[in-house]
Amino acid sequence: MTQSGDFYTRIDHPAEIIELLETLRQPGSACLVLEQDQMVELPVTVATTNAGEALHLDVSAIADGATAFCEGAVFRLNGQGSRGVLRTPILTVQLVWEEDQRRLCRCEFPGWLEKHQQRDTFRARLRRGMKVRVNLQDAGATATGYLRDLSLHGCMVEAEPSAAALLDDRSRPLQLEMTFPDGSRFIVPGWPRHQTFRNDRILCGFRLDVGGRDQQQRLWFLVRETERESARHAASDKSDLRPSPLYLGSTIDDAADESDTYRNPMARQLAGCASFLATQIMKLRHGGLIDQKLLSQHAAKLMALHAEDREALLFALTCLHRELPLIRHCLAVAVRLVDLGTALGLKPDVCRALAAAGLVHDLGKALLPAPLRDATQLDAEQQRQFRQHVALIKDRLAACHWLSPVAIQTVIEGGNERLDGSGYPGHRSGDKLHALMRVAAIVDVVDAMGRDRADRAGLPIDRIYQHLRRSPAQFDPRWVERYVDHFGIWPVGTLLRFPRGELGWVLSLDADRALAAVRQVDEPSFDDATSGILVHGRDLTRLGEPVEALLPTA
């Protein structure tokens, strides 16, 4: 009765067993298959079910000629109920008797049932302790997760928040690379389908684009072995269940788990804020509002981290290279607004409001259509549509009653305004832009110009400063110079090249904003930012004056 390539899922809870057996009371719903002749199916119905005692079957429909059916006969009960195809383990006829013109038999109550699952809909779920690492890849961008279930057509992956960058409005599938404990790998294209957040992790369902026959057979093997190992983990007595070779080994260990986190301690703290923003983006795309309580908590967290170690926090912004660019930009604006606000002597409540507004100031862009966000050129109508991101995020802040309209106007609106009125959304100019709005515009544009965009490459910090100084009609020259004086010609987190070719990340500046410490590295990559050698004092002097600032590679 079982077809090749199908699954039977074991049910061992007594109440569920009784419920399933009750579905076999209708005539024609069950049959008895003798072990000695499995080609013959004898019609029966379930008469009574007493959990832990006995199972009574009505065997009146079995022809008298079926002499093999008698006391001591060994059989399986198969059936088609309202909840699918069922079968019992091997049972033994204990007694056959006549009652009320019916012929009945008694056998032991089955300790379990198996429910049939068609293999094309079956999902093998991984239990705790079954670790399959999944790398999500697309054009050099990667994110890491773990497999939660697997079928011949799809899978569920629990991924780090940075995976949000890869799941958004895709025009091509991701490459999913699954690494099993025995070291074997399976690579398959997958289309993201539905996503939810759970405990700061993304649960994403994928539809798999399985290729030829070999890949289909390999996937079938992986699903089958995963289900077998899951059943072994679930069984109370595992002594008679052989472990799956697929799950023997320890390639997924604590060291691999550690690679999911940032090596820089402050970056690990800041990653919690990044996870919050990723969660909010997902909520916004599903019609939700910004969580006012969590926004307040994360704004306060940024202030606490700033008070703990200002330069460590500024450098940690560089280390969050796995996060969505939009999230990195929002974090950088929020942190630098806190830093400037503190230096200007603003009250803590004002700094917290600036931090909160900075955290969410550009999240409205996540609500724009992907073609609009990724366009290399915008016509007048597209520019008008793009600028709607300000109104989109303001609408989603309706529940944040504690965040003052002044903070929203200063950061979310003011960051896009220009002195000559060429900005948006209000086209404010001159005296209509108060001091903090002018500061917010500079903070926003400095970070934005340093990042790659669809229509242009990012610029090093010295080129950005040149642009600001050459644009006095748009950016207040006094605040531009105050910004440069505060963060320095080579701000913390800048990658520098020195006269003899050495590379170094700026870690610290002295009171005059001159270099105080750098981390010398071999490669101009974000991954290298937390390695290398700490250089300061005379060793730093021997490096010489920096030649140029570089944009690191991914």
Confidence band for 4, pLDDT divided at 50, 70 and 90: very low
The average pLDDT across 363-377 equals 89
- Domain identity same for 289 and 322: yes
- Does the pLDDT at position 469 exceed 80? yes
Contact 58, 45 (CB under 8 A): yes
Residue type, 535: V
Query: pLDDT at residue 241 above 90?
Result: no
What does the pLDDT read at residue 81? 63
* In a domain? residue 94: yes
Greater model confidence, 513 or 50: 513
pLDDT attached to residue 22: 85
Q: Label residue 23 by pLDDT band (50, 70, 90).
A: confident
Q: Which domain holds residue 151?
A: 124-254
Poorest-confidence range of 108-117, 143-152, 357-366, 514-523? 108-117
Within a domain: residue 136? yes
Residues 141, 230, single domain; the answer is yes
Same domain? 214 vs 353: no
Helix axes 265-285 and 348-360, enclosed angle (nearest 10): 60
Residues 439, 476: one domain?
A: yes
Side by side, the strands of the sheet bearing 503-509 are 533-536, 515-521, 503-509, 495-497, 548-550
Q: Does 541 share its domain with 464?
A: no
Domain assignment present for residue 346? The answer is: yes
- Domain finish residue from 451, 468, 487: 487
What predicted TM-score, i.e. pTM, was given to this entire model?
0.69
* SS3 call for 342: helix
Banded model confidence at residue 140, pLDDT cuts 50, 70, 90 = low
pLDDT at 269 over 80: yes
Kindly indicate the confidence band of residue 317, based on its pLDDT and cuts at 50, 70 and 90.
Answer: very high
The CATH number of the domain where 14 resides is what?
Answer: 2.30.110.10
Same domain, 404 and 293: yes
Query: 């009320």: which residue's tokens?
Result: 100
pLDDT in the model for residue 142: 81
What is the rounded average pLDDT of the residues 480-487? 98
Element (H, E) at 195: strand 185-198
- Cα–Cα distance between 469 and 466 in angstroms, integer? 5
Mean pLDDT of 524-533: 84
**Domains in the chain, number:** 4
Looking at the predicted structure, is the pLDDT value of residue 410 above 90? yes
Can you tell me the distance from the alpha carbon of 126 to that of 232, in angstroms, rounded to the nearest whole number? Answer: 11
128 vs 7, which has greater pLDDT?
A: 128
156 shares a domain with 65: no
What interhelical angle do 265-285 and 310-319 show, nearest 10?
60
Region 66-95 average pLDDT: 82
Domain-located, residue 279: yes
pLDDT digits (tens, 9 = 90+) for 46-78: 988 776 789 999 988 887 656 567 889 999 998
Query: Which helix (H) or strand (E) is 296 found in, with range?
Result: helix 292-308
> 200: which 2 tokens?
């700061």
The per-residue pLDDT of the chain, averaged, comes to: 88
Q: Which residue has the higher pLDDT, 79 or 476?
A: 476
Q: What percent of the chain has pLDDT over 90?
A: 56
Final residue before a domain boundary, out of 464, 487, 510: 487
Asked whether 188 and 208 are in contact (CB, 8 A), the reply is: yes
Query: Residue 133 is part of a domain; what is its CATH number?
Result: 2.40.10.220
